[in-house]
Structure formats: C-alpha cells, structure tokens
Amino acid sequence: MSKFPGAGLAKGLAVTLRTMTKRSVTQGYPEVLPELPPRSRGVIALFEENCTVCMLCARECPDWCIYIDSHKEVVPAKEPGARDRTRNVLDRFAIDFALCMYCGICVEVCPFDALFWSPEFEYATEDIQQLTHEKDTLRAWMWTVPAPPALDERAEEPKELTMARRAADKLAKEQAQAASEASGASASEASEAPEDGTP
C-alpha cells in the first residue's frame, strides 16, 4: 500500500507524459504494408502440377481441414504390347482456414513438393464459410511464395545433382566413344578402298 493517496495515479500520469513526447511506432496499415519475414506462415499455397493425389497431407492433418476429390483416368500405352496405365486426376483441393492451425505438417509431409508456405495474409472475411479456399485461390497464392534461400557456397552438392551430372557425363563419354569408333571405321574403310575406284 502506498504511503500517500494518489501515488498510483501520479505514476500512471508520469508514464503517459513520457510516452506522449516519444515518436509513435504504429504502422499505418493498410497504407503501409508490414515487412514480413521471407518464410512467414501466411497461407498454404498449392502447386497443382506436383500433386499426385496421394492424400498424405489430408491424412496427416490434425484438424482435418484439407478436402481432396479426384478421379482416375486411363493413360494409353505408348508402346505396342504394353498395358494401359491409370493415374489420379485432381478435381478438388480445398483448405478450410477457419479450422487450420498453421502447424505446417501438410507442407512437411508432402513427398512431391506440392504445398508451400506463402506470406500472403490479407484474406480476412466477415463470413466464416468463405474461409474455405479452393485450388484456384491456392494456385494464385503460389506466385507469392518467395524463392528459397541460396545454398552455402561451401556446402556439398545435392545428391540429385551429383547423380544427374554423373549420368550426363557417362552418356556424353559413351556418345563420344561411339562417334570416334564410327569415324575410325569409316576412315579404315576409305583406306581399304582401291584408288582407281574399282570394286
């Protein structure tokens, strides 16, 4: 308990007077947009071409806020005697952001890099039913996803690039060897042919 009455009021007024003389740090949103971190969790964007409808994201989602519909299509065989193949075609991919808790599990478990974090955050609405966004909106958000940071110069090369480079070098070496053998064979045939042109 204070020694004299009104001590708390005096302290409060002193704080008010100190802050009144300082410059305001409030940003004038929406006229001034905030500077978000490059990997901020705004919304989840969909890269539809990479989605194979494996349903892994929907199964692992703890809130069950991902809705996926698909159908199967028959892909005719390209070679004679081969069997026709079937593939899943994505019909609907929707996320209910009213249920989503932004844990990022769906982005992490996607084996084909079809889901990404976008820093987009301006999707508020007055109707909760409009927070379920379909694949067209998720696809549009894909273009707001920032590029990944550059790799460390001293880091090891990714295994995929190393294997691809080795395969390309091996193929180039085999083609060069085949070309040299073909040129050597043609040169030997030319040397064996008679000079007068008779067979």
For 62-105, what is each residue's pLDDT tens digit? 999 999 999 999 988 888 888 888 989 999 999 999 999 999 99
pTM: 0.62
Residue with tokens 């003389």: 21
Query: What whole-number distance in Å separates Cα of residue 146 and Cα of residue 157?
Result: 22
Contact 2, 12 (CB under 8 A): no
Which phi-psi region, left, alpha or beta, contains residue 29 (left: φ > 0; alpha: ψ -120 to 50)? beta
pLDDT at residue 170 is higher than 70: yes
Tokens of 82: 């081969």
Tokens of 146: 């920032």
pLDDT at residue 195 is higher than 80: no
> Is 3.30.230.10 the CATH number for 34-142?
no
* Annotated binding-site ranges: 51, 54, 57, 61, 100, 103, 106, 110
Domain regions of the chain by residue span:
34-142
Shortest CA distance to 107 belongs to which of 141, 71, 130? 141
Residue 2 — very low, low, confident or very high, per pLDDT cuts 50/70/90? low
Question: What is the rounded average pLDDT of the residues 104-115?
Answer: 94
Question: What is the rounded average pLDDT of the residues 32-55?
Answer: 88
The whole-number pLDDT of residue 76 equals: 87
* Annotated binding-site ranges for [4Fe-4S] cluster: 51, 54, 57, 61, 100, 103, 106, 110
Residue 182 — very low, low, confident or very high, per pLDDT cuts 50/70/90? confident
Query: What whole-number distance in Å separates Cα of residue 93 and Cα of residue 51?
Result: 10
